[in-house]
Amino acid sequence: MSSRKNPFRELSRREMLKHGVLLAGIYGGASLRPWSALAQTPGGRGAQAPPETGSTLVLLGTQGGPNINLTRTEAANAVVVNGRPYLVDCGYGTLRALVHANIRPVDIANVFITHLHDDHTDDIAAFLTHRWTNGNVNPPKVVVHGPYGTAAMVEGAPTESSE
């Protein structure tokens, strides 16, 4: 957790998403793409990678509330600006949705949590742990930004695999 003052602390989750969409629009004509639509590529091998230039908002999870659903994952979005992904919320199913959207979790250096309900944070421990997989012996650090209580949540999460 960063020791700097968090400018997003006072924002509601709707305001946070509006700011994400606004930033994506400012940085080169944003596009909005749900990962499920991206995954419909020939051969069914997952999504095309987000473009290297411009901005894209990828809806990774839109399931509201703490419900398990076979067709929708819980709240999560990736804002990709000039090829650099930022994660907004990390509900259950986020890791799988990132893989489907062809966004490597190890490439995400900043996570923004809008609030600490479980449908927005369920996969944060898995996200932090799985950064060590696929030969990533020394993955880059990730900073998790969020409201009061976020630092304790992150400190309680495992940071490497239990091999």
4 within domain boundaries: no
Burial class (CB in 10 A: 0-12, 13-18, 19+), 7: exposed
- For residue 63, the 8-state DSSP code is B
Per the CB < 8 A criterion, the answer to whether 35 and 58 are in contact is: yes
**Domain that includes residue 85, residue range:** 13-156
- What pLDDT score does 32 carry? 53
Task: Give the closest residue to 8 by CA, choosing from 142, 134, 146.
Answer: 146
- What pLDDT score does 65 carry? 78
84 within domain boundaries: yes
How distant is the alpha carbon of residue 54 from its chain centre? 18
- What pLDDT score does 8 carry? 53
Amino acid identity for residue 22 in this structure = L
**CATH code for the domain of 90:** 3.60.15.10
90 within domain boundaries: yes
The C-alpha atoms of residue 91 and residue 117 are separated, in whole angstroms, by 9
- What pLDDT score does 131 carry? 78
The C-alpha atoms of residue 17 and residue 2 are separated, in whole angstroms, by 21
161 within domain boundaries: no
37 within domain boundaries: yes
- What pLDDT score does 141 carry? 86
Per the confidence metrics, is the pTM higher than 0.85?
no
* Tens-digit pLDDT string for the chain (163 aa): 445 555 555 666 666 666 665 555 544 454 555 544 444 444 445 566 677 788 999 999 998 877 787 888 899 999 999 999 999 999 999 999 999 999 999 999 999 999 999 999 999 999 998 877 766 777 788 999 999 999 999 988 876 544 4
1 within domain boundaries: no
107 within domain boundaries: yes
Dihedral, 97, 102, 107, 108 alpha carbons, nearest 10? -30
Per the CB < 8 A criterion, the answer to whether 35 and 25 are in contact is: no
Task: Give the closest residue to 27 by CA, choosing from 94, 86, 76, 77.
Answer: 86
What is the total count of domains within the chain? 1
134 within domain boundaries: yes
